[in-house]
Amino acid sequence: MEGGKRLANRKKSRSSQKPPALSRRELVTRLQEAEATLDAIRSGKVDAIVVDVRGGKKVFTLAGADHVYRVFVERMNEGAAVLGSDHTVLHCNTRFARLLGARLQKVIGSSMLDLVFPDDQARLDALLRHAAQRNCRGEIRMQCRKGNPLPVQLALSSLHPGGTRAICLIASDLSAVKRAEQELSASSGQLRNLAARLLTVREEERTRIAREIHDEMGQSLTAVKVDISWLMGRLSPRSGQMLERIGGTMQLADNLIKSVRRICTELRPGILDMGLTAALEWQAQEFQARTGIPCKLRLLAREAMVGPNVSTALFRIFQETLTNVARHSRATRTEVVLQKQRDGLVLLIRDNGQGFDPADPSLSKSVGLLGMRERAAMLGGLVNISSAPGKGTSVTAWIPFLPLDESGAMS
């Protein structure tokens, strides 16, 4: 109900005295008044009639055509309120009051700005101003009487009932959504930490295994070779079959030594200890020799001193990208650029192959691309993959220079 517009005042006289006789003019005026009141009731402009009875005024609420809407608004699960032009709450449903942990009577008549968390008043004010022009939405926190501020999504629209300005507001409780968001972000943070830990452990394991194989097997195989040579030197040239056998064993030992070296290098290229650029050059040559795809290197950051973590991460990203080029691209050219950019090191690997759609949902199961992203993220960096069918593929990895204690070297 608002002002006199939605209230019809009827005087009901209970006096037993005979009313004074009315003139024809007065009767016509009263009849016109009665007709206008009836019209207003029929057209739904009247919510209630206030009747003067003995002992004061009495309000009769009309259950008109809008009754269904009233019940709907009252029962809906969202808070609903109508604000006057000064942002006072003129009407609201019980749910709205409940969101604030207050009684309906307390909320009606309050300024909406006093019902929100103080830090969000400016935001609400901006939303209300905006709503006067066009419908809008926004998130704010309501100031609950008890407990924490309540996050809500507000949908605002302006109303012009009977020429006056008002704002209609629907408030949806976001606390469950926010809780789920927090849980999701916490669990994805944990997953990220786990992924980072796995990558670190894997790298450490590789280094350890490579060292052990190299030290244990490498040395033993060298000792075997020395012994075989000693034996060969002592055999008479006439023991042909024996010499042939031992010669074969010697060949076997040589092959084993080569395999051990290859396995160690694959596990962790020793050249990485010579610096990133040397390792990239070596890997590019290996790739070219193995696949026949030319790999042009432009190492513009040769002087950059990066720590072992950054070198290893960029090197592993490079290896995975080249493996993908060899396996999936059908490229005939590869280009690699290493340069300094934005306080970090950028490695760009571009191929002219068949490309792919990086947004393809089936790629979510691929661990290669994910691993590259995780490696960079572990060091505060990023990997961007830009590709399209028929357009080749570009992988850009950026890793920021890190302080000495984190990366093991000066940036």
Q: What share of the chain is helix, strand, coil (3-state, %, to 5)?
A: 50, 20, 25
Minimum Å gap between C-beta 94 and ligand ATP is 54
- Report the C-alpha gap between 374 and 199 in whole angstroms: 8
Stretch that binds Mg ion, among 5-13, 217-225, 363-371, 390-398 (CB under 5 A): 363-371
Site residues for ligand ATP per CB under 6 A: 324-325, 327-329, 351, 353-356, 363, 366-369, 393
User: 4 or 361, CB closer to ligand ATP?
Assistant: 361
Instruction: Name the closest residue to Mg ion (Cβ).
Output: 368
The interface region with Mg ion, picked from 66-74, 294-302, 323-331, 391-399 by CB under 5 A, is: 323-331
Q: Is 149 exposed, middle or buried (0-12, 13-18, 19+ CB in 10 A)?
A: middle
Q: How far is the CB of 326 from ligand ATP (least distance, A)?
A: 9
Structure tokens at 72: 């709907």
Distance CA 295, CA 284 (A): 6
Minimum distance from CB of 299 to ligand ATP (Å)?
A: 21
The site string for Mg ion over 266-295 (x = CB under 5 A, - otherwise) reads ------------------------------
CB 360, min distance to Mg ion, A: 14
Instruction: Give residue number: closest CB to ligand ATP.
Output: 368
Torsion sign across C-alpha atoms 93, 97, 98, 99:
positive
For residue 75, the Cα-to-chain-centroid distance in whole angstroms is: 34
Between 48 and 297, whose beta carbon lies closer to ligand ATP? 297
Q: Which residues pair with 66 in a beta bridge?
A: none
Of 75, 115, 124, 109, the closest CA to residue 95 belongs to 75
Number of residues that bind Mg ion (CB under 5 A): 2
| CA proximity to 228, closest of 209, 242, 210 | 242
Q: Which is nearer to ligand ATP, 167 or 336 (CB)?
A: 336
Nearest distance from C-beta of residue 202 to ligand ATP, angstroms: 14
Contact indicator for 130, 136 with CB cutoff of 8 Å: yes
Q: By C-beta, is 249 or 291 nearer to ligand ATP?
A: 291
* Buried residues in 242-252 as b, exposed as e (16+ CB within 10 A): eeeebeebbee
Q: Which is nearer to ligand ATP, 87 or 328 (CB)?
A: 328
Residue 319 engages Mg ion in binding (rule: CB under 5 A): no
CB of 368 to Mg ion, least distance (A): 3
368 forms part of the interface with Mg ion (CB under 5 A): yes
Nearer to ligand ATP, 93 or 393 (CB): 393
Instruction: Specify the residue, 261 or 328, whose C-beta has the smaller distance to ligand ATP.
Output: 328
Identify whether the C-beta of residue 280 lies closer than 8 Å to the C-beta of residue 345.
no
351 binds, options Mg ion, ligand ATP, none, Cβ within 5 to 8 A by partner type: ligand ATP
Contact (CB, 8 A) for 77 and 95: yes
* Residue nearer to Mg ion on the CB measure, 79 or 353: 353
Nearer to Mg ion, 324 or 393 (CB): 324
* Closest approach of ligand ATP to the CB of residue 377, in Å: 15
Helix (H, G, I), strand (E, B) or coil at 146: coil
Q: How far apart are CA 153 and CA 145, in angstroms?
A: 19
φ, ψ (nearest 5 deg) of residue 307: -75, 170
CA dihedral in degrees (87, 93, 96, 98; nearest 10)?
A: 140
The answer to whether 350 touches 386, Cβ cutoff 8 Å, is no
Beta carbon of residue 388, minimum distance to ligand ATP (angstroms, whole number): 10
Residue 393 interacts, among ligand ATP, Mg ion, none and using kind-specific CB cut-offs from 5 to 8 Å, with ligand ATP
324 binds Mg ion (CB under 5 A): yes
φ, ψ of residue 15 to 5 degrees: the values are -65, 140
| 325 interface partner picked from Mg ion, ligand ATP, none, CB below 5 to 8 A per type | ligand ATP
Shortest Å, Cβ 278 to Mg ion: 24
Q: In whole angstroms, how far apart are CA 228 and each of 214, 236, 334?
A: 20, 14, 45
Task: By CB under 5 A, name the binding residues for Mg ion.
Answer: 324, 368
